[in-house]
Chains A and B, each alone.
Chain A
Amino acid sequence: MDVTRATENVGMRRPLAALPALSARLIGLAAIWWVLTDGSADAWTWGIPAVIAAAALRPGLRSAGAWRWSLPGLLRFLPVFVWYSTRGALEVAILALHPRRRPDPILIGYPLQLPPGPARIFLANLINLVPGTLSTRITARSVEIHVLAATPSLMRILATLERRVADLFALDLESGPAEVRRP
């Protein structure tokens, strides 16, 4: 699919193509302001300039480049996220409270299929909420993960997550089974 290439151009060379992204940011930021100020009408005196400035300047986010996400992808992503993060918290809580069980941690490398950019960083953050995994470093081709206990389902969970993130960011992954590589 050409989606990846298209996203790289948005906002960089063609200013008009950035308009949908800019208006999406404006709406999102305005919604946040509305919630923060409890819907107070007076607050918009400050809110309108603040929202416009933040949407136009994107403080700290310019280097992230342009990206897009898909709503159906989000809807497919959310249940997976809720289920995994609940399971992750349950597993670590049981491990902490159980009188005799101890963690058996190991560092592994998980080869990434996602292209460099926001999607990778998003996945690395997500990994922290998933059962038994904590991302430590992103290298050119893989992400280094600290695993609480190497379980057989681990690779399947990571692959599912990566596919969901690709779906969320409207990216197409080269299909092929991921392999574990120990650094």
Chain B
Amino acid sequence: MTAFYLGSAVFLLANVAIALLRVLRGPTAADRMLSGELMGTTAVALLLLLYGATGVEALLDVALVFALLAAMAVITFVRRTWPEDPAADSEKEDP
């Protein structure tokens, strides 16, 4: 089972790498942020699989913190860096 868990973790890592393409391409800030959300979820799954492979229970706590941080990142982004005030919006988006 250990090899299977590690293989799955590598697969998820590749998934995250592909998702980075979306961050690069954008085109809007929303697209970049939602890739961030995907990475948060994938990172949680990755850590869980690493727990399955190694049996280190602390990894579960790391996964929990990751889940929390991913949510915080999105909320901070929406409230602070991309507030819903058109006047404060300097970044122009593609149509």
Contact = CB atoms under 8 A, between A and B. Distances in A.
Interface of A: 36, 38
A38 B64 contact: no
Q: Bin chain B's interface residue count.
A: under 10
B89 interface: no
Contacts of B61: 36
Interface string B57-75: 1000100100000000000
A38 B56 CA distance: 13
Contacts of A38: 57
B14 to A, nearest CB: 16
B57 A36 contact: no
3 contacts: A36-B61, A36-B64, A38-B57
A115 to B, nearest CB: 25
Interface string B38-72: 00000000000000000001000100100000000
A38 B61 CA distance: 10
A69 to B, nearest CB: 23
Contacts of B57: 38
A136 to B, nearest CB: 11
A130 B57 CA distance: 33
